[in-house]
Chains A and B, each alone.
Chain A
Amino acid sequence: MLSYATLFASGLICIALALNAWRLIVGPTTPDRIIAVDTMYINSIALIILLGLYQGTTSYYESALLIALLGFVSTAAFCKYLLRGDIIE
């Protein structure tokens, strides 16, 4: 049962990723694109965790953890760039 649920969930997440990518490519504004990338980070976390659940392994856990942490930094940096131009003042 769990495997069906994870497969189904991964399918949905993949669709979500594709839609994010669509938003990223068509824009139209830069903030749209930044948010698209950020959402893709979050969806990737979900996808990786689901993969771990499906295969019954913990070895993907660190990748998900890192995406969670670092994705934030990347998004923050892009935003700071839009706001101030110079990200480290």
Chain B
Amino acid sequence: MHYFWVPFLPMLGIIIPLLTNKFNRSTCALATALLPALALGLILFDLPAVLDGQAFTQSIEWIPLLGLNLSFRLDGLSVLFSLLILGIGLLVILYARYYLSEKDHMGRFYCYLIMFMTAMLGIVMSNNMLQLWFYWELTSISSFLLISFWSHSSDARKGARMALTITGAGGLALLAGIVLLGEVVGSYQLNVVLNSAELVQQHPYYLAILSLFLLGAFTKSAQFPFHFWLPHAMAAPTPVSAYLHSATMVKAGIFLLARFYPVLAGTEVWFVVVSLTGLFTLLLGAYTALFKHDLKGLLAYSTISHLGLIVLLLGLNTELAAIAAVFHIINHAIFKASLFMAAGIIDHESGSRDMRKLNGLWKYMPITATLAMVASASMAGVPLLNGFLSKEMFFTETLDQSILGSLSWLIPVLATIGGAFAVAYSLRFIHDVFFNGEPKGLTKTPHEPPRYMRVPVEILVALCLVVGIFPAYTVGPLLDSASLAVLNHPLPEFSLAIWHGFNIPLLMSGLAIAGGLAIYLNRKPLFRFEGLFPAIDAKIKFEGAIQACVRWAQKVNQTLESGSLQRYAFWLCFFALALIAPPLLDLDTTRGSQAEYPLNGAVAIAAVLLVAGSLATVIWSHYRLIALLMLSLVGLVVSITFAYFSAPDLALTQLSVEIVTVILLLLALYFFPQHTPTSKSRPSHFVRDLAVASLIGCIIGSICFALMTSPLDSISEFFIANAKTGGGGTNVVNVILVDFRGFDTFGEITVLGIAALGIYKLIARMRLSMRTKDHDGRLWATDKYPVLLSVISQSLLPLFLLISAYIFMRGHNLPGGGFIAGLITSIALIQQYLAHGVDWMTKRVSVSYHYFIAIGLVTAAITGLGSWAFGQPFLTSWFDYFSLPWIGKFELTSALVFDLGVYLTVIGATLLILANLGKLTTKERLTVGVR
């Protein structure tokens, strides 16, 4: 089978118009048409097999781990839609060649058009529901781009936004529906889903699934109450209206209903909701269409009405109604596309679409007029044309239902009234435009269009006639196979013929035509009556609704995100409390079986110091510098505690981080108020916060106590057993960092680098002036770089570097490693900044710190990739032992190179942040007020 390529050919073709745009217009159009034509050829090639009633599916694995396959199917329904999409698409390409003016960017237009074609083909051929949804969204986006093609016009932009919002919202609903349905069935493949009707309809989720699917379908197919976007989408160039908004995209919703007909249809809810929505849309569209003065507006509402008709048919739950729906999909696409093209020709050649100005065009463009009249007669349902056949089937089906119980006789009556309005607006289209006197106030004299602009219309109108006269020989087989796909079981008997004898449907057709005539003849009083209603502009209402939505969202956002740190902290702690506390309630005792550590004097004093330091930090928190000093005490005690309880690595890290933090905070503190303003929070809030904080403390304390007194089997045994044999190092912490969890470390240093670059970007070129006096009003000391500090710092530098090298080298086997060594080197350099200033350092360190980050990351990455060369997974470490005279036995390991990457990244990130924070200030201080 070749159909697998069908959706991909136009996808390749998206780029072609952009490439050929520089050649002349006909070349561009021809090149654009090439791949869709090829795709159409492939479909035709596979057509005979499908007409025999076969359905094909083909999949290739895409992301097998997630169960996502690229999967396409070809059955009657998808063939029918593919033929419409590709056939009408090709005609539209030809038509647009003449429709677009020299000023329009033809390549861009065709590009969007082909993108839409790809998306549509994807929808109708997908065998996977998620894949279908993906293409569904793509149609919304390409439709947005096409409607706003004339982006200089405000109407086009607003219409495009409206269409995107409505269809996009529907798309989200559809996604939810698809996920629910997929979870219920257990598969996202259509061939499985379509055969699980019983399972789905008896599932409690059925109602939810159905409503979500209907939301998706009704928004896309412009059903009431979502119909209003379609008339506004008419701001698009007419080829787009002909293609998207009559023949294909608005049929996507109907396609969805037809595609999922076997699973979702057949229930009472489907019956009532779908058919009544369809009926109401049918009437509303038909009635409104009559009063539109804009040609395209009339056609838009007529489209809404016909879409309603199809939806109503699908909702009737009888097999024949579904067949009639499929038939009307074909017929409507044919006659409505040709009518839109005719409207475009009239607009193009006479400069107006206003039916109050357009009159008597018969004299100026007789051929176009004839074509348009045939097409609108088909729209009205005149015998010998295709519209008549499906409308007659529709009338037949309305007689055979019982939606409204004993009031069900209303349905055929309402259907006849809808039909009468259809006749009336079709008459108006014919009579107002082509007869009814002379044109008024047109800017140019109307004339026939270029020869080839008319060709697409001629082809479509010819189809109207051929299908209308010889239905069984032309569309019969296609209709059979498509209906087979919709119903998912063998078809009932039905006859495709013009003449079924004198019966009620024929009478209804006759009544509709007579009624339509009567309505049109009495149009003047009707127009006057319609004029009594205030005009409703959907655009203003829609914008209002959107604004209200935005305002509401902002309000909610402001309530949640008020900017109060106190509130954030409260909610954070509150939820932590709510999640952590309940499991503790189930625990019988906090005390585990593990023996407690013996307490000695030093530990007791350290504990007291820790508590005192923490309390002092809280108490002095309004005096920020003092709070920072108190915090130093806390950090120091924590470091010593780490050392005492055998965590030397942690102690070293904590110490170096502590110092870097102090420097960072001092740098930042300079620019902030030295005192936090005294809190104005209410006493009740104070009590609340105190309570939450104390509770958190108690709970964390209990957890710690419980954990430390319980015997715990942790993963650490594994690390200890394997560090030496697997990673070649005796320092388990370091082996975890560079080997066991090397990939995590790689991710972390990447994040570190990104964060540093982000901070750099945020403060780059920011210059803040310096204050002349300190907080207490004293003048600053005049000595910028005290000699004592400079001399000591400079002489300490080699010592610092030596220690950092020592810590780095021993890291794999003893406490230390790249991270700590990097921090020590950074602190050594920061110390020089402190003692000598930025200028002095800039002269001596010529390399920018960005390079440190880049080189560090690249080193780590290359070390990781290096293991691929030996057929090992990413970041597998290698080590071996060597011996040299004088030195003796020593170990070489790839982890050391990785650690070097960590080392360099840490230096780069720390200095990039700190040194640049230091550069924030202006060189000179303000001298105002200084004597």
A joins B in a complex: yes
Docked-complex contact B663 and A41, CB < 8 angstroms: no
Residues of B whose CB lies within 8 Å of any CB of A are 601-602, 605, 608-609, 612-613, 616, 625-626, 629-630, 632-633, 636, 639-640, 643-644, 648, 651-652, 655-656, 658-659, 662-663, 666-667, 669-670, 770-771, 774, 780-781, 783-786, 789, 793, 796, 799-800, 803, 807, 814-816, 824, 827, 830-831, 833-835, 837-838, 914-915, 917-919, 921
B608 contact set on A, CB distance < 8 A: 18
Considering the chains assembled together, what is the distance between the CA atoms of A77 and B921 in angstroms?
17
Considering the chains assembled together, what is the distance between the CA atoms of A24 and B615 in angstroms?
13
Identify A87's interface contact among B601, B605, B667, CB under 8 A.
B667
Docked-complex contact A62 and B914, CB < 8 angstroms: no
Identify B639's interface contact among A67, A77, A84, CB under 8 A.
A67
Q: Closest chain B residue to A40 by CB distance?
A: B636
A74 contact set on B, CB distance < 8 A: 632, 658-659, 662-663
Docked-complex contact B921 and A86, CB < 8 angstroms: yes
Count A/B pairs, Cβ under 8 Å.
Answer: 154
A53 contact set on B, CB distance < 8 A: none
Docked-complex contact A21 and B613, CB < 8 angstroms: yes
Known: A21-B612, A85-B670, A88-B917. 16 other contacts (CB 8 A): A14-B602, A25-B616, A40-B633, A62-B652, A63-B643, A66-B803, A69-B799, A70-B658, A70-B824, A74-B658, A74-B663, A76-B834, A77-B662, A83-B780, A83-B781, A83-B786
Query: Number of contact residues on A: which range applies?
Result: 35 or more
Docked-complex contact B644 and A24, CB < 8 angstroms: no
Docked-complex contact B834 and A87, CB < 8 angstroms: yes
Q: Closest chain B residue to A11 by CB distance?
A: B601
Docked-complex contact B834 and A88, CB < 8 angstroms: yes
Given contact pairs A37-B629, A48-B640, A74-B632, A62 touches B796 in the complex (Cβ within 8 A): no
Interface residues of A, dominant DSSP: helix
Considering the chains assembled together, what is the distance between the CA atoms of A37 and B634 in angstroms?
11
Docked-complex contact B601 and A14, CB < 8 angstroms: yes
A51 contact set on B, CB distance < 8 A: 602, 643-644
Docked-complex contact A24 and B918, CB < 8 angstroms: no
Identify B783's interface contact among A24, A62, A82, A83, CB under 8 A.
A83
User: Which 5 A-B pairs give the minimum distances between C-beta atoms?
Assistant: A88-B918, A83-B781, A14-B605, A70-B659, A63-B643
A75–chain B nearest beta-carbon distance, Å: 9
Docked-complex contact B655 and A70, CB < 8 angstroms: yes
Identify B915's interface contact among A10, A82, A88, CB under 8 A.
A88
B914 contact set on A, CB distance < 8 A: 88
Identify A30's interface contact among B612, B626, B651, B800, CB under 8 A.
B626
B663 contact set on A, CB distance < 8 A: 73-74, 77, 87
Docked-complex contact A89 and B918, CB < 8 angstroms: yes
Docked-complex contact B609 and A21, CB < 8 angstroms: yes
A83 contact set on B, CB distance < 8 A: 780-781, 783, 786
Identify B666's interface contact among A33, A40, A77, CB under 8 A.
A77
B821–chain A nearest beta-carbon distance, Å: 11
Given contact pairs A67-B655, A69-B803, A88-B914, A17 touches B609 in the complex (Cβ within 8 A): yes
Given contact pairs A21-B609, A67-B655, A73-B830, A84 touches B780 in the complex (Cβ within 8 A): yes
